[in-house]
Amino acid sequence: MDPVLDETSLVPYPEVPASGRVEALAQALKAMDLLGFARTLRTVRDAADRDVEGGFGLRRWCFDRDVTRESRLLVANRLSKQPFIDGPDGLFSVAERQRVVEASVEGDIVWGLGLAALEDGVAVGLTTASRNEGAFSSVSLHELDDDSEFTHTVDVFVHVVAADISRRSAQLRSRIERTVVDGRLLIGRFSELFSNLVLGPLAEEQLASLRGSEPQFRQLLRHLLCLDRSARAWKSKTPFVPAGITSSVESTATLQHGRFGPMRDFPVPPGYQPFRWSLHTKMTGGDGARMYYEPRPEEAPDQMRVLVGYFGSHLPCVKYPT
Q: What is the DSSP letter of 210?
A: -
CB 234 within 8 A of CB 240: yes
From the CB of residue 62, how many other CB atoms can be counted at a distance below 10 Å? 21
What does the pLDDT look like over 112-166, one tens digit per residue? 999 999 888 899 999 999 999 999 999 999 988 766 687 888 899 999 999 999 9
Would you list the domain boundaries of the chain?
A: 4-171, 181-312
pLDDT tens digits, one per residue of 36-87: 888 899 999 999 999 999 999 999 999 898 999 999 999 999 987 889 999 9
**Best CA proximity match to 292, nearest among 313, 267, 311, 272:** 311
Per-residue confidence band for 286, with pLDDT thresholds at 50, 70 and 90:
low
Among 118, 91, 90, 88, residue whose Cα is nearest residue 103: 118
Provide the pLDDT confidence category of residue 103 given band limits of 50, 70 and 90: very high
Between CA 112 and CA 56 the distance in angstroms is 21
Q: Are the beta carbons of 237 and 244 closer than 8 angstroms?
A: no
* CA–CA dist 287, 285 (Å, integer): 6
Task: Of 238, 306, 244, give the one whose Cα is nearest residue 277.
Answer: 306
Report the Cα 116 to chain-centroid distance in Å: 16
